[in-house]
Structure 1
Amino acid sequence: MAEKKSYFDEPNDITVEDETITSEAQFDETTTSRTGAVVIRIVLAAVLFAVFAAVSWFSGSGVPVLLGLLAALVLFSCTHVVLEWERAVVLRFGKFHRVAGPGLVFMLPVVDSVTATVDMRMRSTAFKAEHVLTADLVPVDVDAVLFWTVWDAEKACSEVKNYVRLVYWVAQTTLRDVMGAVTIAQLSTRRTQIDKEVADILEQKTNEYGITVLSVEIRDIEVPDDLQEALSAEARAERESNARVMLAEVEKEVSEMFVEAAETYGNKDAALQLRAMSFVADSVKEKGGMVVIPSALSEAFEGLGKLGKL
């Protein structure tokens, strides 16, 4: 009878640079302890054997003991405990029969077998695209993380040999394709849209295998040091250019205001004198103290006072 295995397990010759798949296998082996499940199966087999042993004791025959041992072995081999977040894929005569679990699963001896257990929880897979050329031919290294889950254990096990590795490679190639269609400037300004675009493409490619892509998040974008300096210089030059343009526009507006003010004050002596008085009042209000006014200017103020009395 085929021994149950987990599809977290990876072949020994894996060449993927990313360590996510290996860490998932370690998580399944260390954190998810199956000791309790094995103990339950042993206890059930022991109870059955004890019943036959008791019959043998009272009957005085050794045949029930042999039958009990055989029955205990059969019971142990045809019962499996599936954890709450897992689903067991059961085959009958090598053909898919059902998806079982969670809980205690009973199978027909010899004809049924659990070929794999699938973790149905959400998973995170880190992946990267190295030396990708953007649309403006800038080489970048992009690190991202993919959040996904299996929604159909039958498809995940029967449609593809190793769905964990499939998700990794499809995510990597999709990220490279999307990065090649955007410029280096868009990578920083459209990161959220790029995340969604990669997730949508991955969903289309993996959904037929019973896998749902929840989201993709770009963690880091690395640019070569020499290009980083060039891009920084370009951005700095662009900011300085924009600052000069804004300064020129402000100076133009100020000069137009000065022209209008000159026309107003040039045509009306009283308006000019009132403006001068306003400057003096503001100066005293802000700084305090005493202000020395030339006699000619004081005579102008006196003239304004006479105008106010008329």
Structure 2
Amino acid sequence: MEPIIAVALVLVGYAVGAAKIINEGNEALVERLGRRHRKLSPGLNFIVPFIDQVVMEDTTREQLLDIKPQNVITKDNIYLEVDAVVYWRINDMQKSFYEIDNLQQGLNNLATTNLRQIIAQNTLEQTNVARAEMDQTILEKLNDTSKDWGVQILRVDIQSINPPESVQKSMEMQRAAEIESHAAIEIAEGQRQASVKKAEGTMTSMQIISEAIRSNPESREILRYLVAQDYVEASQKLSASENAKIIFMDPGKSKDIYDQVVADEVVRKDTGKSISSEN
């Protein structure tokens, strides 16, 4: 019985040693007598104990590589601290094991080198406004090399670009000056439009008044009354100011002034009609 038990134990040990379970999302590489043999897929797999050896098991799922902050000098000689993250996946398990000794270290060095090169080719302003373009450029450069390692780079995200404190203050002052300049332009444009509207309103009012006086001479007395009333109100407002200098005009002479205004308006209209008829 003892030999039978011994044989049974050997068979059980052989079966246990031969069975390899690979989890979903992983793959494994097997060498036979030190040479590349085959790849194990997720599920239950069997190898030959003492002859076959699992040399690598890794995930084929998306992985994250965090690039530590890097000190970079831009094209316009501004010192920056830049960090990024790289999302990648193993496409070919055999290449990732046999073509490079340390895959994680190789990807980190490759990403760091390309990040520094791309930032150094741009000015500070370009790094702030063209971050998406730089991400794409770094992605393409990484994939050019990583494909030989059986790795696909999925995304590159530059997380932060931090200039020195003095540069940050200068940028804030520049933005504040741009905002103030824009506001001043808006105010000036608003005042210009208001002046134009006021001038147009005054012109329209004068046309209406002159037309009313010409068609109804009796309305001159009403107009003189309104002008005198406006004159009194304006004088009161001026007298309320401590620094105002008040110049009084005889309201009785307003008739002569407005007679001249009306006469000028009539001449202008008659001239316009004559020109129209000639045309």
Q: What's the TM-score, normalizing by structure 1?
A: 0.61
| Gap regions ≥5 residues in structure 2 | 213-222, 230-279
1:295 is aligned, of 191, 202, 225, to 225
2:167 is aligned to 227
**Of the two, which has the highest radius of gyration?**
2
Distance 2:54 2:66 in 1: 30
2:92 is aligned to 152
2:207 is aligned to 268
Deviations along 1:114-163, whole A, 9 cap, x unmatched?
10001111112211342211222211112222211111111111111121
3-state SS in 2 of match to 1:268: helix
3-state SS in 1 of match to 2:100: coil
3-state SS in 2 of match to 1:221: strand
2:52 is aligned to 112
Distance 2:134 2:210 in 1: 61
Identity %: 25
Question: Does 1:123 pair with 2:63?
Answer: yes
1:99 is aligned to 39
2:91 counterpart letter in structure 1: W
Deviations along 1:88-110, whole A, 9 cap, x unmatched?
11112222121112111111233
Question: Does 1:73 pair with 2:3?
Answer: no
User: How do 1:172-251 and structure 2 match up within 5 A?
Assistant: 172-248=112-188
1:161 is aligned, of 65, 88, 101, to 101
Q: Does the CA contact (< 8 Å) of 1:265 and 1:271 recur in 2?
A: no
Deviations along 1:254-296, whole A, 9 cap, x unmatched?
556666666x4497354899xxxxxxxxxxxxxxxxxxx9833
3-state SS in 2 of match to 1:239: helix
Q: What's the TM-score, normalizing by structure 2?
A: 0.67
| Gap regions ≥5 residues in structure 1 | 1-55, 57-61, 274-292, 300-310
Distance 1:124 1:259 in 2: 67
Q: Does the CA contact (< 8 Å) of 1:129 and 1:176 recur in 2?
A: no
Root-mean-square deviation (CA, aligned residues, Å) is: 3.0
Pair 152,67 (structure 1): closer, same or farther in 2 beyond 3 Å: same
Distance 2:74 2:201 in 1: 54
**How much does 1:298 deviate?**
10
2:23 counterpart letter in structure 1: L
Distance 2:169 2:6 in 1: 81
